[in-house]
A and B are shown apart, each in its own frame.
Chain A
């Protein structure tokens, strides 16, 4: 009987270990490329990571094109670095952050000087811990 309990305990331990391993492998497999623990927590709370906010500020700045992925920058029509007029601001909506692996999007209000605020969505990808913009559009 004792022998039987031992076998049961070992089996349970193996199942737990296996589940833990599977869970690790699953998470590892789906880990955002270069993503951080902060990003995962942010995803749960739908709050925008600070790094993502920073790249949006960069997008609206005089060096706006630097916020884009190199691939998007290459295919878009060329121009100077600034994309948005000086003084533009983007305010993310509450709980609008959606993340799947290394990819994310958020919606918010885009304010350009002299124009009515508009709802906009910004797509991002996390590469080596750094967020980059993949698109911006009217939400």
Chain B
């Protein structure tokens, strides 16, 4: 019966593979509509079965098990929860009938490779694999198989998460084999033999839990899973660069003469797989080890062996959270970093609607130029520094600022600046430096804000951002923007000796402090700054209904006494056509007062003396730049 079922499975798989090969031009929708489903590959109930552009998450079990180990219909189970993540379809691969065979068997590794390929091509996305026990080794084999569309199956996998995978074999199986041999045991093997003897004798008459393992001993897989076996060594290498997250259980078994407390603690990992074996191929640097108390042998056999036990690992809340987080991190990492410009004020310097404003009293002074936003204020209030701050144009006296601590906040502190304490902006408008956001949100959900003042350094890299509630997690210079989703190398402050290395962090959101255009309005008094010009250009863009389109190249800019002029290439009316726009500062911001091929002094009501000064400035200091917003 088993042979017949296996044969049917193989035939079914071959048909699937054949249809895949034959349907090279088939639409993704056709494959997505369910053609990947076989007797072995099933969608998790309740989740989407239309991959569309969703990321497939594929669960594969281990020996003496089945797809039911993932409890796909049980709320709270890892498969149940994964299937309900937006942007995910969840699947289980089942080889229960063949689970005592080695991973090279057709129904295991090769069919699993076919399943991965089908899901990847059907969805147009790479697949995330969650593998338990030997399922991890089946994955290792499958990823090296040729893909029907070219390359290897491994190239269609985003990440692998293994739970209790015996990368170096199973010490308990080896111990039991050694004990069963029973003769001429070398003293160096006494530890293993004592463990094997104890488990085998305790399992006489028992077949569940830990006691399911002795049944494996005489099988093909029993030999393959011996410590450092040739079968494992002969598996193809993992694809280079593929993220593999290892999860292991760590518990002890107390064995000996219990009633007189003559016991030895055996470090058994999750009982079937030691910690060393289960974490032997972690490439993420964040292998998770679930630690549990030691159990007495009989307690582990007759009672609940606890969350660290091999088959219980995937039911543990911490481990489920770790896996779901890894899936969500990948989903987030597949999206480009979102850039958001923020400020507590609008472009005209008026407070934003919905902003919670708290009165902070009086600031002694505010200097033009922020640590975290090049074009905002840095204010000093007694011994505290508030940065960044924006001029609050709700104050008719133009002597108040709104300061915001975090870019993700909608709460700002209002300060009245002491007379003469508000420094003006000078110089040309500065572009936002994309390498230095004000704050970022990581794929983990953690939020980080730019460090001010003197920066620490770690391994020659400046500590630029502090994350979380206690700021112990930091991000190091420089932001890597070479991929659509940006990344930082991170570190952890250990409080005494400095920093420890942290993982590579993916940035989902980067907040930039908007230029203080409110300060530009301040130019109406008499100052005429480059910031004002930037605002003027923005106003022009908005007036011409092209706020998100490409900005014109500013060829020259100059201003004086509340008047300004921009000369730029007017791309909207034909390449190379140069135009000049005249602006005048007012209480409500800069207003366009006219435009022409060139503007003469006195034109559009501009005072002649001012027009001359502007023209002179335009002539003497032409420049070409992109105006930042």
A interface residues with partner B (beta carbon < 8 Å): 33-34, 59, 64, 68-72, 74-77, 79, 83-84, 98-105, 110, 112, 118, 120-121, 123-125, 127, 133-139
CA distance A102 to B203 in the complex (A): 12
Q: Is the CB of A125 within 8 A of B259?
A: no
Q: Label chain B's interface by main secondary structure.
A: helix
CA distance A99 to B201 in the complex (A): 8
The reply to whether A98 and B205 form a contact with Cβ atoms under 8 Å apart is yes
**Once the chains bind, are A137 and B194 in contact (CB under 8 Å)?**
no
Q: Is the CB of A100 within 8 A of B203?
A: yes
Identify which of residues 182-235 in chain B touch chain A, using a CB-to-CB cut-off of 8 Å.
182-183, 185, 187, 189-191, 193-194, 197-198, 200-206, 214
Q: Can you show 16 pairs from A to B with CB atoms below 8 A apart?
A: A71-B191, A72-B198, A76-B256, A76-B263, A100-B204, A101-B180, A102-B182, A103-B197, A105-B201, A112-B259, A121-B202, A123-B204, A125-B201, A134-B202, A135-B255, A135-B258
CB distance from B255 to the nearest CB of A (A): 5
Q: How far is the CA of A70 from the CA of B194 in the complex (A)?
A: 8
Q: A71-B185, A83-B260 given as contacts; is B198 within 8 A of A134 (CB)?
A: yes
| B198 CB to nearest chain A CB (Å) | 4
Interface residues of B (CB under 8 A from A): 179-180, 182-183, 185, 187, 189-191, 193-194, 197-198, 200-206, 214, 255-260, 262-264, 296-298, 302
Chain A positions within 8 Å of B193 at CB level: 69, 71
Residue among A72, A110, A139 making CB contact with B194, cutoff 8 Å: A72
Q: A118-B259, A137-B297 are in contact. Are A69 and B194 (CB under 8 A)?
A: yes
Tell me whether B201 and A134 are in contact (CB under 8 A).
yes
Contact residue among A64, A74, A76, A98 (Cβ-Cβ distance under 8 Å from B187): A74
Q: Which of the listed residues A71, A105, A138 has the most CB atoms from chain B within 10 Å of its own CB?
A: A71
Q: Are A124 and B263 in contact (CB under 8 A)?
A: no
Q: Are B262 and A76 in contact (CB under 8 A)?
A: yes
Given A76-B264, A135-B255, A136-B258, A103 and B201 contact (CB-CB distance below 8 Å): yes
* Chain A nearest CB, measured from B216 CB (Å): 14
Given known contacts A69-B194, A76-B263, A79-B262, is B256 in contact with A135 (CB within 8 Å)?
Answer: yes
How distant is A56 from chain B, measured CB to nearest CB, in Å?
12
Least CB separation from B302: chain A residue: A139
B197 touches A137 (CB 8 A): no
Q: A74-B187, A76-B264, A134-B197 are in contact. Are A103 and B256 (CB under 8 A)?
A: no
Nearest CB of B to A79, in Å: 7
Tell me the bound Cα distance from A100 to B180 in angstroms. Answer: 11
Give bound CA distance, A74 to B297, whole Å.
18
Inter-chain contact B259/A124, CB cutoff 8 Å: no
Closest approach, in angstroms, between the C-beta of A70 and any C-beta of chain B? 7
Asked if residues A71 and B197 are in contact (CB atoms below 8 Å), the reply is: yes
Are A75 and B264 CB-contacts (below 8 A) given A120-B259, A136-B258, A137-B297?
Answer: yes
